Amino acid sequence: MRRGHGVDWSASGTGMMGEGADLNGPAIRLAIGELAGEFGLTHRTIRHYEDEGLLTPERAGTARVYGHRDRARLALICRGKRLGFSLAEIKDFLNLYDTDDAQIEQMRYMRSLARGRILALEQQLRDVQQTLSELRTIDTQISEHLRRNGITETHGMEEKHS
């Protein structure tokens, strides 16, 4: 094993940060490979997200160093992807999550974005529920069909998910 955990195989940068914990808990300093492994992504993908402005890791010399914020954002990115959003959509979606110090008008805009997304997601929720319902019906029907017709070779592999 080359590294216990975290990044230190490069120049320590400006030296302005020692180590240890900040107000948000223990400081996490991850290399790209660690982050990639954790989320099941490639390095390329994570760099791509940076190119698209979704992540803004620090640098230790030339190497990228990811902290809390990046990890959290990446989790949101992954969820957004699972929900079928584009990176562009995810980008301003992410901005909704760190609206600490926005101006009034900016916040109104953010809220309108949030509400638009809420409406879309409510539709999506209905879609998912509808589809799930139909698929469960299909599953049941197939199972019944197999029970009626194919008892000859029913290998008893009935139950599935916990």
d(CA 142, CA 18): 62
**Minimal distance, residue 113 CB to DNA, in Å:** 17
Please identify which residue in 28, 29, 31, 55 interacts with DNA, judged by CB under 7 A. Answer: 31
Of the listed pieces 17-25, 36-44, 95-103, 133-141, which binds DNA according to CB under 7 A?
A: 36-44
How is 59-80 classified by DSSP, letter by letter?
EETTEEEB-HHHHHHHHHHHHH
Nearest to 35 by CA among 85, 86, 7, 71: 71
Q: How many chain residues bind its own copies (CB under 8 A)?
A: 51
Please identify which residue in 5, 44, 115, 136 interacts with DNA, judged by CB under 7 A. Answer: 44
Residue 2 sits in the site that holds DNA (CB under 7 A): yes
Q: Of 124 and 141, which has the nearer Cβ to DNA?
A: 124
d(CA 162, CA 16): 50
Question: How far from chain centre, in Å, is Cα 30?
Answer: 16
Q: Of 131 and 140, which has the nearer Cβ to DNA?
A: 131
Residue 34 binds which entry of DNA, its own copies, none, CB below 5-8 Å type-dependent: DNA
Beta carbons within 10 angstroms of residue 91's beta carbon: 16
